[in-house]
Amino acid sequence: MHKRRGTVTRRWRVAAVASTVAVAIAVPVAMAQASAEPPPEVSAKGAYLLDTGSNKELMAKDADTKRPMASTTKIMTALVVLESRGLDLNKQVTIKQEYRDYVTKSGASTADLQTGDKLTVNQLLYGLMLPSGCDAAMALADTFGTGDTTAERTKSFISKMNAKAQDLGLTNTKYDSFDGVSADADNYSTPHDLAQLTRRAMDNATFDTVVKSVSTKQEAPAANGHTRYYSWDNTNTLLGSYQGAIGVKTGTTTPAGPCLVFAAKRGDKTVVGVILNDADRYPDAKKMLDWTYDTTTEVKWRQLPKDAQRD
């Protein structure tokens, strides 16, 4: 059996079954071995691993330290939309030039939505979560916020994001943007909070379907009366590379560093992991998943097409 090496530092919390008595009583052998061994060392400033079935913490590193979270913000953007009263996923949204201008001004990742095209809410969710489209994020915030202007509606949507965080008990989370592009660095969360948020979001069938998609092709009525074809690749290269990976979201900004919220399912065990500010986010996610599943996985990393968005 593969043996892991590493030491436990004081920054790690491990939900371990320490005594051999407890292991013998209730825990399957593979899980007992995984939980009895120390967690792997990772480069992340903050990390967390959660068993979503039991809602049990498996491992953590500086899990309650507030940090900028970049585009992992969009998990909350999607959840607020999906839990909106009277949601119609087939509602068409007309793309405004404002959305494109915002992306250009911000230098943000984009779904390259074209002005005048009509995309459904469901399509915008794909544009939000796969290529990490900040234009799609703005379109959704503008559609699901309230007010007389785009600025008022997007601001009210951000208020809904913060209200949802409070409702979910995410006490160390705050949003000042709908996409993670934060001018005032007042957009932050913790590995623990992001894991709990994602556990809630993964219970939504639409969210689950979107975030596990490696790529998608969508068509929409174009402004000129013809049909526009959109092709989006998921920026999360854990998908299509690691056996059992089912999501969730990347994020990268200069303040936040490379971030990754990920999920995997093997057998009857589903876990959500969070890595904040980690240049080795994918290898470290693999380490964390192999540790929890007590295995060594051979991975050939999926390569994004040259013209695909990176995040």
Out of 45, 61, 74, 269, the active site residue is: 74
Upstream peptide bond of 181 is cis (omega within 30 degrees of 0): no
The DSSP secondary structure of 67-132, one letter per residue, reads EE-GGGGHHHHHHHHHTSTT--TT-EEEPPHHHHHHHHHHT-----PPTT-EEEHHHHHHHHHSS-
Out of 35, 132, 189, 241, the active site residue is: 132
172 contacts 64 by C-beta, under 8 angstroms: yes
In the residue annotation, 74 being an active-site residue is answered as: yes
In the residue annotation, 132 being an active-site residue is answered as: yes
Distance CA(130)–CA(136), nearest Å, equals 11
The DSSP secondary structure of 132-183, one letter per residue, reads --HHHHHHHHHHHS-SSSHHHHHHHHHHHHHHHHHHTT-TT-B-S-SSS--S
74 contacts 179 by C-beta, under 8 angstroms: yes
Biggest CA pair distance of the chain: 70
90 contacts 84 by C-beta, under 8 angstroms: no
Comparing CA positions, the residue from 300, 260, 259, 304 lying closest to residue 131 is: 304
Out of 45, 61, 71, 269, the active site residue is: 71
Distance CA(132)–CA(147), nearest Å, equals 25
Comparing CA positions, the residue from 2, 73, 57, 34 lying closest to residue 276 is: 73
In the residue annotation, 215 being an active-site residue is answered as: no
Distance CA(34)–CA(197), nearest Å, equals 25
- Torsion angle of the four alpha carbons 280, 283, 285, 287, in this order, in degrees rounded to the nearest 10: -130
For the chain, the first-to-last Cα distance in angstroms comes to 36
Catalytic residue list: 71, 74, 132
